[in-house]
Amino acid sequence: MIEVKNANKHFGTNHVLKDINATFEDGKCNLIIGRSGSGKTVLMKCLVGLFTPETGEILYDGRDFAHATSAEKKKIRQDIGMVFQGGALFDSLNCEENIAFPLKMFTKMTRTEIKERVNYCMDRVNLVNANKLFPSEISGGMKKRVAIARAIALKPKYLFFDEPNSGLDPQTSIVIDELIIEITKEINATTIINTHDMNSVFEMGERIIYIFKGEKNWEGDFTQIAKSDNKELIDFIFASNLLKRVKDTF
């Protein structure tokens, strides 16, 4: 479980995160949603330690990450897997080497063991015949799969996904969403997903936090959205005419 307590973050005079309190539960897909510029990416970067909140705590199963020593942070980070918007695969390494990278850096596994783990991770994300391909030679959907395979290589307790569906076609997006749900349940991970994708919200939103102008404006699950009378949330979720019509129908 990851808890955020009274987190504040400024960039100059811009108060980007305003006293955020949130809890992200184990074995669930926790979604952070909000408009562009609302502060959700900053929140995620605070959660993974790329930014440090000026005040407040980030607790990983009770361990304070924001104010931990670099040795403690390093230990916690080995329990974190993150999939970036663009994949962030290492250009100079092929798919197999990308997935093997954290195993080589942080384990004492033999080459054979690493090879077996890499093959397992590739199978798990349904990657076929891509071992020797470089990131520049594969599609966006495949890059996301390789990034997921790399993120799960060390069997993390905490999984982060930054806009996992951006740049993907609707069908591939659904496949990636299903994969995230399956992996979360399989390893009982605390999964946090930063997304704009409304399909993902209704598909995966077991727990949703809506960020509006740097504040936590709403939280709940996808079944509670339609019943909510929160104007900002409703305007955001049902922004498209299609979704408005769907909402009116029900």
Positions that interact with other proteins (CB under 8 A): 48-50, 73-75, 77-78, 80, 82, 84-86, 88-91, 101-102, 104-106, 160
Closer residue to other proteins, CB minimum distance, 151 or 208 = 151
**H-state helical runs in the chain:** 40-48, 70-77, 95-106, 111-124, 140-152, 170-187, 198-204, 222-225, 231-237, 241-249
Would you say 195 or 217 has its CB closer to other proteins? 195
User: Are 189 and 180 contacting, i.e. CB atoms less than 8 angstroms apart?
Assistant: no
Nearer residue to other proteins within complex by CB, 9 or 216:
9
Identity at 60, one-letter amino acid code: Y
In 3-state terms the chain splits into helix, strand, coil percentages (rounded to 5) of 40, 25, 35
Residue type, 120: Y
Q: To 10 degrees, the CA torsion angle through 238, 196, 43, 222?
A: 50
Is the CB of 90 or the CB of 120 nearer to other proteins?
90
Q: How far is the CB of 75 from other proteins (least distance, A)?
A: 8
Q: Which is nearer to other proteins, 72 or 215 (CB)?
A: 72
